[in-house]
Structure formats: C-alpha cells, structure tokens
Chains A and B, each alone.
Chain A
Amino acid sequence: MFRIYTVIGLVSVAAMGLATQPAFAQTPNETLASFKTAAAGDAKFQGFSATRGEQFFKAKHGKEWSCASCHTDNPAAPGKHANSGKDIQPLAPSANAERFTDMAKVEKWFKRNCNDVLGRVCTAQEKGDVLSYLLTVKK
C-alpha cells in the first residue's frame, strides 16, 4: 500500500516538473532539421544557405509585400503588421526564444505569409534557407 502511494507521489512530482518547463515542443534547430528532411526528397537538394535566405527574406516576390514589410530588415527587432499596424514580436530566435519551437505554428504562419508574399506555398528549400538566415541573426 505504502509503495503505491510512493509511486503515485513520484509520478505527480515528475508530472509537475514537466508542466513547469517552458512549453517549447522543439528547438529551432530541430525545426530546421525537419525542413531538411522534407527538402532532401528533391534530388537536387544541396543544403540550405543563410545568404539565399536573407535575399529571399528582404526581396519582393511579385506582390506588394516582402517578409521584411512586416518583420523589418532586422528580424531581431520588433515589427509592425503592414495593414493593421499591430506590433509583431521579433522573429529571430536570438531575440525571441519562442520562435520556431512549435511546428504547427511554424507551418500555419509560413502557409499564410508565403501566400501573402508569393501567392503560393513556400518550398522546404525556401523555408530552410530563411530559417538558416534567421538563426544567424544576432540580437
């Protein structure tokens, strides 16, 4: 009997410990790794490039906005939504630890923002390039 209580006690302590951890499902590097897995399906894939990612981030792609229109040319700084003017927290993981730690959120925003900026979904190559760039941005 005593043993059961001990086990229950230990399990609850462990559960509480887990619950108080910052609720980040994964690290930005793990997110990058999953883009790599997706991109590697293409025979021509030769890795990601932070330089290409930076160019992609700052350029317009045939529509009104670039990524930088809202996130600014410095992704470690706060941005502003180009339409509503609402503040946007920094995008670079060095300045905002929450970024690129939740895959569902990452994919939700790439889907939306790529549609706004390019009028299509982004490839795994493009997403990986951009994240590689963002990971090089210092606070």
Chain B
Amino acid sequence: MLKTYKKYPQVIAAALLAMGMTTSAVYADDDGDEDERGGYSESRGGKYGGEDRGKPVQPAKVNAKWKQECSSCHIAYAPGLLPAESWRKLMAGLDKHFGSDASLDAQDSKEITAFLVDNASNRWSAPTAPLRITESAWFKRKHDSHEINPAVWKNPKVKSAANCQACHTTAENGDFSERNIKIPR
C-alpha cells in the first residue's frame, strides 16, 4: 500500500506528460501541416502519400452556382478536398451521382466544373483521383480509430461520413478546424 502511494507522483507526472503530448498533437493537426504518425514522406511524393487536401480548402470568394447547386442534397463540399481530376470525373458523371441523378444543364455544369478545378487541392501530388472524399489518404488518416471512436460513426446523428457538418459545425463554410468540432452524443 505504502509503495503505491510512493509511486503516485510518477503516475501523475506521466499522466500530465501524456496529456501535454495529446494536446500538442491536436494543435499540430489543426494547422494541417504536421503529421505525427509518419504520414509525411518526401519519397512518397508528399504528405499522405501525395493524397493531401489543399490549403485553403475553400477560397474566400465562392461561385454562387456551385453553392446553390451542390448544396441542394448535401453540403457544398469545399473544392480543396479533392484534386482537379476528381472533380472533372465527378462532374462528368452527375447523372449517376452516388445512386442519385444530380444532372445539370451544360452551362451550369461548365461553370461549376471550372470553379472546382480552379480551386482543387493544391497539395495533391499522387496520380490518384478518388470520387469520394472519404477515400483519400488524408481523410482516412484524420478519421481513423486513433482520432475518432468507431462508435461515433454509428450514431444516427452522424449517419454517414459524408455528413461532415454532423461534427464539423462550420463545414459549410469550408472551415474544418479542430476548435469547431462538436461530436454529437
């Protein structure tokens, strides 16, 4: 018993140290330029194997058509979340858009594609071009089981990983900063 008491200062010190490390990891992630678990590697063509979102993910001035059309059924996902080639492919297949027909007339489609391509991720160096944001390496890493308790995904308030705003309260403005995350209970 006495031995355990003697050990307490060490235990507390260790706990504090761990808390400090956790906090700094969160801040580092917030900035988006650091990756604690080895995602960064020049030899693999940049962070997340080259599958990194852009900075900023959404330009200060957005296209009105993009905002209006893309937010009809879900939030208008910021263009910097995917590379230009992803947006080209996605916009070319709007009639079969993840199980829904989301087709646009030619003029709107052209205008929105241009906005998405012009503001696509500027840090994506891999030759990949996923259609789903959730398939990109940066997304998977940021939402893996170390970051998010797997139970969160099962919450009906979250429903789907496509439902950014369930936790990222300011996702509609392209703001995914850690301080604006509220995980629903």
A: residues with CB less than 8 A from B are 81, 83-86, 104, 108, 111-113, 115-116
Contacts and interface: CB of A to CB of B under 8 A. Distances in A.
A86 B103 contact: no
Given A108-B105, A115-B95, A85 B163 contact: yes
Contact of A85 (B101, B103, B105, B159): B159
A116 B100 contact: yes
B20 interface: no
Interface residues of B, number: 16
B99 interface: yes
B101 A83 contact: no
B74 A81 contact: yes
25 contacts: A81-B73, A83-B73, A83-B98, A83-B99, A83-B100, A83-B160, A84-B73, A84-B163, A85-B159, A85-B163, A86-B73, A86-B75, A104-B105, A108-B103, A108-B104, A108-B105, A111-B101, A112-B100, A112-B102, A112-B103, A113-B101, A115-B95, A115-B101, A115-B103, A116-B100
Interface string B57-96: 0000000000000000111000000000000000000010
